Structure 1
Amino acid sequence: MDEKSKIRVVVITGLSGAGKSQAVRALEDLGFFCVDNLPPNLLPKFGELVVQSKGKIRKIALVIDIRGGEFFASINDGMESLRGLGIDLEVLFLEASDETLIRRFKESRRRHPLSESGRISEGIKLERKMLSHLRGAANKVIDTSDLSASQLKNQVIEQFGQEEQSNQLQVTVMSFGYKYGIPRDADLLVDVRFLPNPYYIPELRALTGNDEPVQSYVMQSPISKVFLRKYYSLLRFLIPRYIKEGKTHLVVGIGCTGGQHRSVTLTNRLAAALAKQEIVITVKHRDITKDRKGDERP
């Protein structure tokens, strides 16, 4: 099958209440042929029908989750059958924190599909266990805990909207503050709280790592320069191997205490270095606008 007629299938899965419906609607807007709640044991037949369409259906999004009941166990075999037909298969996994999921279920007054006792937390715990293998195999994991519906849509469009980039590894370098929690969708995490902290310089305290004075302060330390060089070297070693494994999106999290000074500086520098390697780079500063009254501390 040549690249022009390549069939692309995105399997959307993840936790109940994490936003699969919003994600599939975003892909539908992008021109994907979408099927919700397809039983996994029908994947081989579905793949055959798509191939027989001879290019009429090339972009497909399938929502498959634990609603498949007893058929859900066959999802791995079903996905392998699609790959065996030469179909380009990607897995998008959506998740959120327990607190967020519980709140969403209570607001919607829906019952969790795995909660026999009626306790939402029990259903979530069981579902995480059932889906753990899929999360590990996912090409892209999105934590929707702090995302609005429109923000989730934007992330899906960013990931899947440019077909010409579908075979490239897209790298998101994200700064964050540990006091606001670790980003759940990060593939790699590094803690840069060992670097000099601009917070203790009065004239730098109100600035961020996007400002040149903060950047200069952080990067004047030999330790910062050595760290940047070594971590960049590590990523250059890892990225080709992720590509060979079939990974299409990598999230690198760089954290300091508040996510406004050191992590932002290193995120910007690392992203700029990686961009020279013809890698699709996205820079995100998760906590840069958070309230600074909590005071950053080492």
Structure 2
Amino acid sequence: MRFVIVTGMSGAGKSTALNRLEDMGYFCVDNLPISLISKFAEMAYTPGSEIQRVALGVDVRSGEALGKLEDVLEGMAAASQKYEILFLDAADEVLVKRYKETRRTHPLARGGRVDRGIAQEREKLAFLKRHADYIIDTSKLLTRELNMELEKIFVEGREFKSLVVTVLSFGFKYGIPADADLVFDVRFLPNPYYIDELKKQTGNDKPVQDYVMGFDVSHVFLNKLTDMVQFLLPNYVQEGKNQLIIGIGCTGGKHRSVTLANKLFESLSLQNDYGIRIEHRDIGK
């Protein structure tokens, strides 16, 4: 029996996760009254039950009864009814944007401001996040990427990577990414933009990569950057961080930053302890 409680912030992808788990063969129930969860778990754990995989959606729609969930979970544990908690999260500004785009009403902000509803929701769900077995931050994830993470955890049984690292190239002329945790400036490196045959190419093209990495200073910088990031990652995990965005910027975000971001991504991808993504924000501008 695998009993998964799917919870998290409204707008972070809980419905998407439940739909995907249902596709994977899980018996899914959303917004079951808290008072019925114990009975439901008892039924699911009945010897000989045909139900072997359950996904139960729980969130702030439960109202004041949500506060009783902790007692329910303690009762399940005492009865040797194992469960896992999947918590879907996203940055506040991302959640606000999603609500504005869909014109939906936040369950705790009816007639009020969405950001205040989100703040209240975080407080109410804090105990679930503390006890979560899996925390997935969907701020930067596409739906297909979220589905891939769910498949790794709940189908393939791979070890969950609690920290997802995004290596992000950008151009300073378009602004520093507001969500970047670490920002590195590579404008000190020789610029391929001034080489006619390289000007219209990008750091995804081998001639540009060969040019940028053709200088000793590029290799020294990459080695030092990689070493520092590898030192920081386990410390971020210990702190409980689940999303790290490393910004690497040059003037226009097409040549030097893309090249160095690709190289850092390649180095970090050799490790299996973290999820690694790469994004080139300004490469098409």
Following the alignment from structure 1 to structure 2, what is the Cα–Cα distance between the partners of residues 129 and 245? 19
Report the 3-state secondary structure (helix = DSSP H, G, I; strand = E; otherwise coil) of the residue aligned with 1:209: coil
Match of 2:205 in 1: 211
TM-score by length of 1: 0.67
Match of 2:102 in 1: 104
Instruction: Tell me which amino acid in the other structure corresponds to 2:279.
Output: H
Match of 1:34 in 2: 28
Following the alignment from structure 1 to structure 2, what is the Cα–Cα distance between the partners of residues 55 and 244? 39
Following the alignment from structure 1 to structure 2, what is the Cα–Cα distance between the partners of residues 47 and 270? 46
For residues 103-122 of structure 1, the aligned pairs below 5 Å read 103-105=101-103, 110-122=104-116
Following the alignment from structure 1 to structure 2, what is the Cα–Cα distance between the partners of residues 79 and 231? 44
Which segments of 5 or more consecutive residues in structure 1 lack a partner in the other structure?
293-298
Over aligned residue pairs, what C-alpha RMSD do you find?
A: 4.1
Match of 1:256 in 2: 249
| Aligned match for 2:260, one of 266, 272, 282 | 266
| Aligned match for 2:149, one of 151, 159, 173 | 159
1:54-95, Cα deviation, whole Å (9 max, x unpaired): 785454433222111112334556566667744444322245
Report the 3-state secondary structure (helix = DSSP H, G, I; strand = E; otherwise coil) of the residue aligned with 2:88: strand
Following the alignment from structure 1 to structure 2, what is the Cα–Cα distance between the partners of residues 236 and 46? 44
Name the % identity. 32
Following the alignment from structure 1 to structure 2, what is the Cα–Cα distance between the partners of residues 31 and 119? 38
Following the alignment from structure 2 to structure 1, what is the Cα–Cα distance between the partners of residues 216 and 117? 50
| Structure index of larger Rg | 2
Following the alignment from structure 2 to structure 1, what is the Cα–Cα distance between the partners of residues 274 and 60? 33
| Aligned match for 1:225, one of 219, 226, 233 | 219
Contact 2:7–2:85 under 8 Å retained in 1: no
For residues 143-154 of structure 1, the aligned pairs below 5 Å read 143=139, 151-152=142-143, 154=144
Contact 1:32–1:59 under 8 Å retained in 2: yes
Following the alignment from structure 2 to structure 1, what is the Cα–Cα distance between the partners of residues 253 and 123? 31
Contact 1:183–1:253 under 8 Å retained in 2: no
Q: State the Cα distance separating 1:228 from its structure 2 match.
A: 3.0
Following the alignment from structure 1 to structure 2, what is the Cα–Cα distance between the partners of residues 121 and 250? 21
Which segments of 5 or more consecutive residues in structure 2 lack a partner in the other structure?
none
| Aligned match for 2:9, one of 3, 14, 21 | 14
Report the 3-state secondary structure (helix = DSSP H, G, I; strand = E; otherwise coil) of the residue aligned with 1:143: coil
Contact 1:259–1:287 under 8 Å retained in 2: yes
TM-score by length of 2: 0.70
